[in-house]
Structures are given as structure tokens and as C-alpha cells.
């Protein structure tokens, strides 16, 4: 069995990964070792395997003993530890949720329902770095990948509505705290049906503007608000999140030499979990809408096409409907006023599952199969 080191299992992505590995019985296939950047030596709180105390995630001599390392710790950790480990001659498989290694030539971005042939080719050629994609990119491809696989997309523009959990566990906690603080600022007035809505509005705005409003993680109010910028600036007017759209989609599809133009605008909203995006696609030809439905339904067994009707959209095409499930819903499908080649779509999926943990869990299974 492959010795597999797990780092970052306490965080948002890591805890979903552990949950999925437990429900798919993956721990029977590996010898797991649990590492921590902050709690080395503490008892392992997870009821998995022989429950050795947590190992030090910065101890290169322990890490060197692993056949596979899965990190959900973040880019800072990867940038510090990965080069030192490889520098010592470590030749194991590095699986990572962070973006640090994604654009490297010796790394493959994993999303096997879309790019299994790229992954298989990489394994055969000795690639050892398998990195999960940007959550929004992976979800866009799990929703609309059929059109890309059939090479029907000339260009696409996506407008995202990204959930708080995309920024990590502490940000998710802070959003709930902000929501609670807002409710608390007007709870008496809410209980009085005769109270003035303008007074409620004024008090909530004052609450958000006060020095004591909790904003340690976001540095901004997210409750009752939205944030039209995600991640750092890349210098051309795009945010890093927006930059990843074209770069990672084409890398996943294995077409960096013949890229499809993709762009958009990424926005953080106060949803707890699951990223949504409205996508405008220019198709290479006027594909009938019924054919579009069939092509999209064939994207993967997890892709679910929702009829473009009000009731179905509100019931099935929301973060609340898909959170905690592996289904990626795609709907609001219609041809746009600009012409028959222009397709409008809306897609939503749990970014902690297909946008993060699930491709990592599945590449582990693929590696185990390849090595056996
Ligand atoms: P996270 O929740 O902030 O967890 C990262 C680490 O923070 C944990 O492993 C833990 O490390 C530490 N931590 C500090 N306070 C914590 C707390 N209160 N609860 C839990 N852990 C805490 O980050 P994440 O969202 O999982 O992201 C990890 C990586 O995956 C990042 O590179 C991110 O960009 C990438 N990613 C995230 C998503 C997403 O939707 N969140 C999607 C795709 C990719 P120790 O146990 O060692 O202290």
C-alpha cells in the first residue's frame, strides 16, 4: 500500500476530502500519515487507521518517506516545502489543492471526467505532480465541458457568484458572524411588524459601518454586500481569479498551443458553499438547443441539465440545491438576441467537491491503480 501523507486535512478542502475518502473507503487502499503545520505531536482527532500523533508538516525527513503527499494546506506551504523536498531527490507523487504549481510544465491539472486522457498520458510519461484546478474553472468544465470536448466553443465569458467557503474556513465563520451581528442589530424591530423598514435599513447600515463589525478575514463586509474582486491583481485589470479562467481551462483541455479565449468577472457573494456562474458562449456554429442539451448531459454522469423554466431553475439551479452533492447543475440555456451562435447558460456546483476535493481523491485512486 502506498504511504500517503495528508497535509491540510483540518481546513475547508481537507475536511471535505477526508469525508469523501471515508465514504468511498479510500483509507483501505493506502497507509495514511497525518501531518499538521500547527499541531505536530498532538493526538490525531480522526478515527482513522492506527491514530499516531500528528507529524510535523515541515519535517522533510518524515515527508521523504511518503510515496504520495496530498496537500490541502495552501500555496504558502507548497512554495516552502515542495522545492526543498524535490531538492532532496524525493520522487513521490505530489497532489495539491493549491495553485502554486498549477502552471508548471511538469504538473497536470486534474479533472478526470474532462481530461482523463491528459492524466493517463502524464502518468505514462512520468509526471509526478497532479494539481487540482481553480474551483470556478473546474465547475465550469463539469457543467459545460461537453461543448468544449466537441470543440464547439469559439469563446466564453463567465460572470461568477462565488461562495464564502471558497476563501477558507475562517472566512466562512466570519460571514456567519457578520450575519448574526446584522440580525442582532435590529432583532427588536424585526419582532415588531409595525416597525419602519427604513429604520431597519438605517440601523443595519450603521452596524456594517461601525468599528466593531467583524472583518478580520475579509477586511470588508460580505453579509448584505458583495465583493467584486477575488484574489490579487495581475496587472492588466484582471484579478488573479479571472486570469485563471483562460490559462487553466486550456491547460486542463490540453490545448495550450491552440487556446480558446475565455474571460469574465469574478465576484464574491454571501452564499455559504457552492459557486455559481453565468456564462455567455459564442459557439463555432448555430447548434440547435436540443442538441446542446444532449451534448451537455453527456459531459459527465454528475452533470445535470435543468430545463429553462422558472420553477425548475429556482428549485434545482441554486447553491442551496447542489451544496453537499456531487451534481453540477447547468441551466438557463437559451440562444441570445445576438444570434444563433450565442448561448446563455448558468451553472452551479459545490466548489469544495468537484471544485477542490473530488479531483484530488480521484487522482489518488488513479495513481493507486497505475502503480499496482
Ligand atoms: P483553510 O480552510 O483556510 O485551511 C487551510 C489550513 O488552515 C488548514 O489546513 C489548517 O492548517 C489551518 N487553519 C487555521 N485555522 C483553521 C480553522 N479555524 N479551521 C480549520 N483549519 C484552520 O483553506 P482551504 O479553503 O481548505 O484551502 C486550502 C487550499 O485549497 C488553498 O490553496 C486554496 O486556494 C485551495 N482551494 C480552496 C478551495 C475552496 O473552495 N476553499 C477550492 C479549490 C482550491 P493546520 O491544521 O496545519 O493548522
Crossing angle for the helix pair 358-371 and 12-23, to the nearest 10 degrees: 50
pLDDT tens by residue, 299-328: 999 999 999 999 999 999 999 999 999 999
Closest alpha carbon to 166 in 348, 4, 327, 306: 348
| 256 catalytically annotated | no
Q: Residue 360's Cα: distance from chain center in Å?
A: 11
pLDDT at 48: 82
Closest alpha carbon to 279 in 288, 291, 292, 290: 292
Q: Given a cut of 90, is residue 257 above it in pLDDT?
A: yes
Could you say which of 72, 135, 207, 266 is catalytic? 135
Q: Which three cell numbers stand for residue 141?
A: 468544465
Q: Which residues of 174-195 are buried (b: 16+ CB within 10 A; e: fewer)?
A: bbebbeebbeebbeebeeeeee
Crossing angle for the helix pair 112-124 and 358-371, to the nearest 10 degrees: 40
pLDDT at 306: 98
pLDDT at 47: 82
> What's the pLDDT band for 52 if we cut at 50, 70, 90?
confident
Measured CA to CA in angstroms, residue 133 lies from 109, 112, 304, 352, 353 at distances of 6, 11, 21, 12, 12
| Mean model confidence pLDDT for the chain | 97
Q: Given a cut of 80, is residue 49 above it in pLDDT?
A: no
Could you say which of 72, 207, 266, 275 is catalytic? 275
pLDDT at 277: 98
- Using most ligand atoms within 8 A of CB, pick from 11, 55, 174 the residue to mutate for ligand 1: 11
Q: Considering only CA atoms, which residue is closest to atom 22 of ligand 1?
A: 11
Q: Given a cut of 90, is residue 191 above it in pLDDT?
A: yes
Q: How far is residue 185's CA from residue 345's CA, in Å, rounded to a whole number?
A: 38
pLDDT at 45: 84
Q: Which three cell numbers stand for residue 68?
A: 504520495
Share of the chain above pLDDT 70, in %: 100
The structure's pTM equals 0.95
| 275 catalytically annotated | yes
73 lines ligand 1 (CB under 6 A): yes
Q: Considering only CA atoms, which residue is closest to atom 15 of ligand 1?
A: 170
Q: Which three cell numbers stand for residue 134?
A: 481553480
Q: What are the respective helix, strand and coil percentages of the chain, to the nearest 5?
A: 40, 20, 40
74 lines ligand 1 (CB under 6 A): yes
pLDDT tens by residue, 207-222: 999 999 999 999 999 9
Amino acid at each position: 500500500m502506498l504511504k500517503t501523507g495528508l497535509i491540510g486535512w483540518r481546513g475547508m478542502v481537507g475536511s471535505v476530502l477526508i469525508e469523501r475518502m471515508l465514504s468511498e473507503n479510500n483509507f483501505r487502499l493506502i497507509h495514511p500519515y497525518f501531518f499538521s503545520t500547527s499541531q505536530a505531536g498532538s493526538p490525531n482527532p480522526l478515527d482513522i487507521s492506527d491514530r499516531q500523533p500528528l507529524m510535523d508538516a515541515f519535517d522533510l525527513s518524515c515527508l521523504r518517506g511518503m510515496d504520495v503527499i496530498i496537500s490541502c494546506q495552501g500555496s504558502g506551504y507548497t512554495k516552502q516545502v515542495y522545492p526543498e523536498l524535490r531538492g532532496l531527490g524525493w520522487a513521490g507523487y505530489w497532489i495539491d489543492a493549491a495553485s502554486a504549481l498549477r502552471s508548471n510544465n511538469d504538473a497536470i491539472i486534474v479533472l478526470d471526467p474532462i481530461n482523463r486522457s491528459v492524466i493517463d498520458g502524464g502518468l505514462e510519461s512520468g509526471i509526478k505532480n497532479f494539481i487540482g484546478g481553480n474551483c470556478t474553472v473546474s465547475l465550469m468544465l463539469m457543467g459545460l465541458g461537453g461543448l468544449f470536448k466537441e470543440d464547439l466553443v469559439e469563446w466564453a465569458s463567465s460572470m461568477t457568484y462565488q461562495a464564502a467557503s471558497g476563501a477558507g474556513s475562517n472566512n466562512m465563520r466570519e460571514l456567519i458572524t457578520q450575519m448574526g451581528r446584522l440580525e442582532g442589530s435590529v432583532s427588536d424591530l424585526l419582532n415588531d411588524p409595525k416597525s419602519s423598514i427604513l429604520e431597519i435599513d438605517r440601523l443595519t447600515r450603521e452596524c456594517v459601518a461601525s468599528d466593531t463589525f467583524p472583518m478580520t478575514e475579509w477586511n470588508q463586509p460580505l453579509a448584505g454586500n458583495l465583493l467584486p474582486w477575488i484574489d490579487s491583481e495581475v496587472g492588466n485589470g484582471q484579478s488573479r481569479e479571472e486570469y485563471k479562467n483562460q490559462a487553466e481551462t486550456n491547460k486542463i483541455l490540453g490545448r495550450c498551443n491552440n487556446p480558446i479565449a475565455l474571460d469574465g468577472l469574478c465576484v464574491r457573494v454571501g452564499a455559504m458553499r457552492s459557486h455559481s456562474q453565468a456564462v455567455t458562449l459564442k459557439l463555432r456554429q448555430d447548434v440547435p438547443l436540443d442538441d446542446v442539451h444532449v451534448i451537455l448531459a453527456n459531459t459527465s454522469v454528475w452533470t445535470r441539465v435543468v430545463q429553462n423554466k422558472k420553477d425548475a431553475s429556482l428549485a434545482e439551479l441554486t447553491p442551496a440545491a447542489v451544496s453537499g452533492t456531487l451534481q453540477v447543475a447547468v441551466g438557463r440555456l437559451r440562444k441570445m438576441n445576438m444570434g444563433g451562435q450565442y448561448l446563455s447558460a448558468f451553472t452551479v456546483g459545490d466548489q469544495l467537491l468537484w471544485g477542490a476535493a473530488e479531483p484530488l481523491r480521484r487522482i489518488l485512486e488513479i495513481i493507486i491503480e497505475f502503480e499496482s
